[in-house]
A and B are shown apart, each in its own frame.
Chain A
Amino acid sequence: QVQLVQSGAEVKKPGASVKVSCKASGYSFTSYGVTWVRQAPGQGLEWMGWISAYNGMTGYAQNLQGRVTLTTDSSTSTAYMELRSLTSDDTAVYYCARLWAVAGHSWFDPWGQGTLVTVSS
């Protein structure tokens, strides 16, 4: 079955960077994109960015531009999200999801299990 499995929880100090992985299985990795969404404690969903696993094209949320980088490794069917210059506001659960894009329509399905990133001194 289609599955996205993310790396484990992280604790980071302010100013540090974090890199979360998302390993895909059960489908042709390069035929879809991967998107990342985060959720601060008790809050809603915030879209962060997307990457085409086919050609590496990316798009980022304006408020994260310059701090986030998305990459993929097609040899291992794995997507990565790196976030730099962390502050306490970046404490959240980070989700990856497969990006469906068909004739201009797009949605996220399925999602990874989430990775908790805690930023604390």
Chain B
Amino acid sequence: EIVMTQSPATLSVSPGERATLSCRASQSISSNLAWYQQKPGQAPRLLIHGASTRATGIPARFSGSGSGTEFTLTISSLQSEDFAVYYCQQYDNWPPWTFGQGTKVEIK
């Protein structure tokens, strides 16, 4: 089973600043990675698939990059609605699909 590790666990950022979240896979997963956003009390929402393709309706301030084992989600200028928990998920060798443990982006 592929293990996904996210860092940091918590990221404190001021509104308008840039946020950079990392995700590492225990083995190469090519570009078979998705990112999800989850706000308190809500279901997760797909942000990115294919490591860098934004899902429908996702603002351009969200961007994904990476391949192999190292991936990054960047939020270029944090808006108030972006404070949430972000999960990466691999789908290179499924099933199973595996998630990282999440990164909480909080207001600094």
User: Is B a genuine binding partner of A?
Assistant: yes
**Interface bits A79-103 vs B (CB < 8 Å: 1, else 0):** 0000000000000000100001000
- The answer to whether B96 and A47 touch across the interface, beta carbons within 8 angstroms, is yes
Residues of B within 8 A of A107 (CB): 34, 46, 49, 89, 91
Closest to B46 in A: A109
Q: Could you tell me which B residues sit within 8 Å of A by CB distance?
A: 32, 34, 36, 43-46, 49-50, 55, 87, 89, 91, 94-102
- Minimum distance in angstroms from A100 CB to a CB of chain B: 8
- The answer to whether A44 and B94 touch across the interface, beta carbons within 8 angstroms, is no
CA distance A44 to B89 in the complex (A): 12
- The answer to whether B44 and A111 touch across the interface, beta carbons within 8 angstroms, is yes
Sampled A-B contacts (15; CB under 8 Å): A44-B99, A44-B102, A45-B89, A46-B99, A47-B98, A49-B95, A50-B95, A60-B95, A100-B49, A105-B91, A106-B97, A107-B46, A107-B89, A108-B97, A113-B43
Q: A44-B102, A107-B89, A109-B55 are in contact. Are A35 and B97 (CB under 8 A)?
A: yes
Q: Give the number of chain A interface residues (Cβ < 8 Å).
A: 24
CA distance A61 to B98 in the complex (A): 10
CA distance A13 to B102 in the complex (A): 30
Interface centre among A50, A60, A106 (most CB of B within 10 A): A106
Closest to B49 in A: A107
A residues 47-89 with Cβ under 8 Å of B?
Answer: 47, 49-50, 59-62
- Minimum distance in angstroms from B43 CB to a CB of chain A: 4
CA distance A47 to B43 in the complex (A): 14
- Minimum distance in angstroms from B51 CB to a CB of chain A: 10
- Minimum distance in angstroms from B6 CB to a CB of chain A: 9
Residues of B within 8 A of A61 (CB): 95-96
